[in-house]
Amino acid sequence: MADIRWFGRNDYEHLIVPDLCRLGLDVAVDGDDHAALAVGMNHDLAPAVWRYAQRHRVPFVSYVWDLPPWRLGDGQHDPVLPIAGGRLLTLPRLSGPRYATRRGYYSRLRFVASRARAVWTPSASSAIDVSRHFGRVPAVVQYCYNSALFTAKCRRLFRTAANDLRLLSVSRLVPPKNHEAVIRAAARLGARVEVIGRGPSQASIEALARRLGVPLRVRAGLPGPDVVAAYQQASVVVCPSRYEGLGLTGIEAAICGTPVVASDIAPHREFLGDAPHYFALDDDDSLVAAIEAARTSGPPPTAHFATLTIGAAAQRFYDEMSALL
């Protein structure tokens, strides 16, 4: 019997599994064999984790990455009922405001988290949100960046020319990521912009760049080495988000030795420390000033990220899971 049945959907959510195995845990990442503890690392898989735990009568951990405020607003969850076949049925609320969007999705996530042996989050900010909306007080168990890809060898060996300002942002193309602020700043600074990501805001971002005369390149689906190269070739990496659960872009940029500018929000302060030049949200003057300061600065400090490596995260998860086995 395995110690852990690990539920993840992508490579990032499986990063620490090999290290957990090296620490002595038997971790299964697929199948339906019995394990002593289930761990759900993907919101989409939360109902599957609950069904697995029900079938095998084992405890489970719900890892809640974040609860975006534009999704939940000031609403309340819909009732969720388990029905035959292990399905979860969501019933619309009869009174009071509901979650703003994806109501059933987040109501089911709450249902599962409320029945977990433990709820973990990657950040203190996410923990506050989970306590407020889900009624559970989670433990903050920080995850990691991909320290197997972003290593000391990624430190760039060159700087872009002083008159060639290249701004890079790496994140989904959705309104809360605030890419429009980067375009506006680039127009004032005569800079080029590259965005790595995909999402529904791409057309509006491209339209804004055309209107302001900003050279813009949008790419998606790049292999890891190409993403590293993009970080290395940028003058400044900008992390303009209004909200983050963790915020990997600033960490990856700093590891590559590229100056970082980040919005002054709590998760950035928590995970990036003193690596970035911070700017105030909705203040284009502040953003432009931060970019100007960053472009003439040296490589960001990286000592803050020593506890965010794959190995360090695996040890944290090992310690927490061992207490539940």
Give the ranges where 115-264 is alpha helix by DSSP (H). Answer: 124-134, 179-189, 202-212, 224-233, 248-255
From residue 237, alpha-carbon distances to 109, 166, 191, 231 in Å are: 33, 8, 12, 7
106 burial (CB, 10 Å; 0-12 / 13-18 / 19+) is: buried
Instruction: Report the amino acid identity of residue 125.
Output: S
Residue that is written with structure tokens 């890079």 in the block = 168
- Judge whether 106 and 67 are in contact, CB under 8 Å: yes
pTM: 0.93
The strand ranges marked E within 216-314 are 216-219, 236-239, 260-263, 277-279
Residue that is written with structure tokens 């503890």 in the block = 37
Q: Name, in order, each residue with C-beta under 8 angstroms of 26's C-beta and a sequence gap of 6 or more.
A: 1, 2, 3, 4
CATH label, 152-304, candidates 3.20.20.60, 1.10.10.10, 3.40.50.2000, 3.30.2350.10 = 3.40.50.2000
The dihedral through the CA atoms of 267, 303, 137, 26 has a sign that is: positive
Q: Name, in order, each residue with C-beta under 8 angstroms of 214's C-beta and a sequence gap of 6 or more.
A: 183, 186, 187, 191, 192, 193, 208
Instruction: Report the amino acid identity of residue 53.
Output: A
In DSSP terms, which residues pair with 196 in a beta bridge? 170, 219
Q: Between the CA atoms of 62, 265, 237 and 120, what dihedral angle is there, to the nearest 10 degrees?
A: -10
HSE of 128 in the Cβ direction (CA atoms, 13 Å)? 8
Q: What is the pLDDT of residues 34-62, one digit of tens each?
A: 999 999 999 999 999 999 999 999 999 99
In 3-state terms, what secondary structure has residue 121?
Answer: strand
CATH fold of 2-144+309-322 reads Rossmann fold (3.40.50)
How is residue 178 written in tokens? 């605030």
d(CA 131, CA 120): 11
Tell me which residues of the chain have a pLDDT lower than 50. none
Can 2-144+309-322 and 152-304 be said to share one CATH topology?
A: yes
Predicted local confidence at residue 160, as pLDDT: 63
d(CA 79, CA 242): 30
Q: What is the pLDDT of residues 272-325, one digit of tens each?
A: 999 999 999 999 999 999 999 999 998 999 998 999 999 999 999 999 999 999
d(CA 258, CA 250): 9
Domain ranges of the chain: 2-144+309-322, 152-304
From residue 279, alpha-carbon distances to 37, 94, 182, 284 in Å are: 43, 43, 12, 9
